[in-house]
């Protein structure tokens, strides 16, 4: 890699450092592991920067490296996430789409208000749901971007996101009632 490429990489890569580290911390639940994950992500991104297509979404590219690095490490540890069959979830998903309440809001809109409670609820989620929820609701990636990052079909992304939000609703419903955050029934 020539000097100009190194400068270009540093210019665009490090503006995402805080967001990458935050996501890594949420994924790993451990500061030291998050640091290692971010370091490995930047090492891989630097090594493969020549493959990055200028003018495309660098944030999505580097987050994909982060997620893939995390998943590969997760699998190496022998704890591969279970796959969910979307066809089994489709009827439940369609019913939930029609449901409207405060608790169906994206987690990112609640994250600031609930802080510790949301973090605790996120900790309770199974790994495959937590990853998709963080990427969609906290980082704002589209279903298609998440599917590419995680290497699963869009339907599986939708299914996992639905399940994650349902579990979050269940875990946060009492807190919402206690703090008057739930939408009143009509």
**CA-angle at 85, arms to 166 and 120, nearest 5°:** 30
**Does the structure show a pLDDT above 80 at 145?**
yes
Q: Say which range, 20-24, 101-105, 123-127, 143-147, has the weakest mean pLDDT.
A: 101-105
Contact 5, 50 (CB under 8 A): yes
* pTM to 2 decimal places: 0.57
Rg of the chain's alpha carbons, rounded to an integer?
A: 18
Determine how many CB atoms are found less than 10 A away from the CB of residue 87: 9
In terms of pLDDT, which residue wins out, 185 or 68? 68
pLDDT in tens, 37-61: 999 999 999 999 888 888 888 999 9
pLDDT in tens, 97-141: 444 344 444 444 444 444 677 778 888 888 889 899 988 888 888
Mean pLDDT for 14-25 is 89
pLDDT score recorded for residue 101 = 42
Q: How far apart are CA 148 and CA 50, in angstroms?
A: 19
- The band of 83, judged by pLDDT with boundaries at 50, 70 and 90, is low
Which structural domains are found in the chain, ordered by start?
Answer: 3-76 (1.10.1740.10), 86-178 (1.10.10.10)
Contact 167, 124 (CB under 8 A): yes
């Amino acid at each position: 890699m020539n000097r100009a490429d190194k400068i270009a990489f540093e210019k665009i890569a490090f503006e995402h450092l805080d967001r990458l580290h935050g996501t890594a911390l949420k994924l790993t639940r451990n500061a030291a592991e998050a640091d290692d994950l971010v370091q490995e992500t930047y090492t891989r991104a630097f090594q493969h920067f020549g493959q990055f297509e200028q003018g495309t979404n660098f944030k999505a590219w580097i987050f994909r490296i982060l997620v893939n690095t995390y998943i590969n490490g997760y699998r190496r540890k022998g704890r591969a996430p279970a796959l969910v069959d979307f066809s089994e979830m489709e009827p439940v998903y369609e019913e939930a789409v029609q449901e409207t309440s405060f608790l169906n809001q994206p987690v990112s809109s609640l994250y600031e208000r609930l802080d510790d409670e949301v973090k605790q609820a996120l900790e309770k989620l199974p790994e495959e749901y937590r990853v998709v929820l963080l990427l969609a609701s906290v980082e704002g990636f589209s279903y298609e971007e998440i599917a590419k990052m995680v290497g699963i079909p869009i339907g599986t992304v939708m299914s996992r996101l639905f399940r994650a939000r349902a579990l979050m609703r269940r875990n946060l419903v009492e807190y919402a009632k206690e703090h008057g955050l739930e939408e009143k029934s009509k």
